[in-house]
Amino acid sequence: MPGNTRVSLGRRAFLGGMAAAGAAAAGLRAGRARAAESLNALVWCDHTDPALIRPFEEAFDVRVNLKEYEGTGTAFSIIEQSAPGDGDVFVIDGIDVPRAVDAGILAPLPEEELPTADLFPELVMAESHVRDGRTWAISEKFGYNTISYNREKVDPADVMDMAVIWSEKYAGRIAIYDYYLPIIGLVAIGLGKKTSELTEADLPAIREKLFQMKKVAKLVGDVVASQTALATGEVDILVGGGEWVTAGLAAEKPELDWVLPKQGGLRWSQSIGIFADSTRKDLALEFVKYILSPEGQARLATSSCYWAMPANRRAGEVLTPQQKAALRWDDQPAYLARAQLYPAPDAELDARMQDIWTEMLQQ
């Protein structure tokens, strides 16, 4: 009977479907079983791009578990709440490496296996990465916290002077990147101070300028909010921006640009190291070597989360001319010479800086 036929076909289809699903599940399990090893990495969002991670997973038949964070304070908080051995690879702000070494978080790296000689010389950062003759981390990516702007709405001559960030001329058209260290650093540079020499005595003048900036700013936003504000025309200037905001948008929004004012800008960098408690140090080292390879560096530089300069000069052999243009590859010698590092306050000065930052936000 037709009715029976339908039931019968339905059952066959159902059983066939179940068999297929079972086979697929078995296949998945087998896949998982093949990638028996796993590697846990505490990283910035640029490392979560599959285009960066998958080649390593396939080459080493390993599963890389990525935990993303923003801000070293958050990372330390995560590490404090984790069991020893939970993490293998740690990506950290270059200037915070000494804090991690002090805390005993990092393991020494075998210097002879690292491409240190291929790095841009300014990115070797021995003062941060080397202690007691041993290397604890290596730079992997860098960029600038400076001024991003819309070339069609802002006079390029204006953004060559850091004073634009607190001037009334662009009141209501400025966004501030919500990270106290680079912005305080930029204000310090605008005031003619060196970021490496900041003390408590410099804070009143910085505080006054921060408050002035807040008055003319439309918003203070995280990476997504500030980038969205610039891209949607909500604001025309982003204080603290740089290639990491605009380079990835170069094709869609060619009017968005970034510049180092005549006073200079801030150079940020991220470093990679291995956790002291890692139980898979060999594999972690392979990951570090992959990230530092020219191919890994090119993928990291153009990662979907944000673009920025690779620390390894040899990535230039892999990047396309368009990618290099968006990253301002040829301008790097001049930019590196004019940029200063993030302020590196001690715990007490850091707390004071955060206090004035919170006060500024509350204005």
Q: Shortest Cβ distance from residue 218 to another protein (Å)?
A: 6
Closest CB to another protein among 175 and 339? 175
Q: For the beta carbon of residue 28, count every other beta carbon within 10 angstroms.
A: 10
Burial (CB count within 10 angstroms: exposed 0-12, middle 13-18, buried 19+), residue 4:
exposed
Give the shortest CB-327-to-another protein separation in angstroms.
27
Based on the shown chain and the rule CB under 8 A, indicate whether residue 361 belongs to the binding site for another protein: yes
Site string for another protein, 83-112 (x = CB under 8 A): ----------------x---x---------
- Shortest Cβ distance from residue 82 to another protein (Å)? 13
Measured CA to CA, the distance from residue 354 to residue 322 in angstroms comes to 39
Amino acid at 95: I
Query: How far apart are the C-alpha atoms of 86 and 14, rounded to whole Å?
Result: 43
Query: How far is Cα 73 from Cα 69, in angstroms, rounded to an integer?
Result: 10
Task: Examine residue 74 and tell whether it contacts another protein (CB under 8 A).
Answer: yes
Size of residue set near another protein by CB under 8 A: 32
Interface mask (CB under 8 A) for another protein, residues 223-242, using x and -? -xx--xx--xxx--------
Interface with another protein, residue 82, by CB under 8 A: no
Site stretch for another protein (CB under 8 A), options 66-74, 187-195, 300-308, 323-331: 66-74
Q: Are 314 and 123 in contact (CB under 8 A)?
A: no
Residue 354 interacts with another protein (CB under 8 A): yes or no: yes
Q: Choose one: 4-12, 24-32, 187-195, 215-223; the region binding another protein (CB under 8 A).
A: 215-223
Buried b (16+ CB within 10 A) or exposed e, 197-223: ebeeebbeebbebbebbbebbbebbeb
> In angstroms, what is the minimal distance from the CB of 111 to another protein?
28
CB nearer another protein, residue 335 or residue 342: 342
Q: Shortest approach of another protein to residue 181 CB, angstroms?
A: 9
| Smallest distance, another protein to C-beta of residue 232, A | 5
Whole-number minimum distance, CB 228 to another protein, in Å?
7
Contacts of 153 (CB under 8 A, 6+ apart): 173, 233, 236
Question: What is the largest distance, in Å, between two alpha-carbon atoms of the chain?
Answer: 94
Shortest distance (Å) from residue 220 CB to another protein:
4
Q: Is 198 or 327 the residue whose CB approaches another protein more closely? A: 198
Residue 48 lies near another protein (rule: CB under 8 A)? no
- Give the binding range for another protein (CB under 8 A) out of 74-82, 269-277, 318-326, 330-338: 74-82
Can you tell me whether residue 59 is helix, strand or coil?
helix
Choice between 99 and 151, CB closer to another protein: 99
Query: Backbone phi, then psi, for 273, in 5-degree steps?
Result: -145, 180
Q: If DSSP codes are grouped into helix, strand and coil, which group holds residue 279?
A: coil
Matching residue, tokens 């570090």? 288
Pairing outcome for strands 265-275 and 339-341: parallel
Q: Which of residues 142-201 bind another protein (CB under 8 A)?
A: 172, 178, 180
CA 234 to chain centre: 24
Residue found by looking up tokens 């715990």 in the block:
347
The two tokens of residue 87 are: 């993490």
How many C-beta atoms surround the C-beta of residue 15 within 10 A? Answer: 10
Least gap, CB of 339 to another protein (angstroms): 23
Q: Which is nearer to another protein, 79 or 107 (CB)?
A: 79
Among 275, 272, 258, residue whose Cα is nearest residue 335: 258
Could you say whether residue 113 binds another protein (CB under 8 A)? no
List the x/- string, 329-348, binding to another protein by CB under 8 A. ------------------x-
Residue 232, classified by CB atoms within 10 Å of its CB into exposed (0-12), middle (13-18) or buried (19+), is exposed
Which residues would be at the binding site for another protein (CB under 8 A)? 70-71, 73-74, 76-77, 80, 99, 103, 172, 178, 180, 218-222, 224-225, 228-229, 232-234, 347, 351, 354-355, 358-359, 361-362
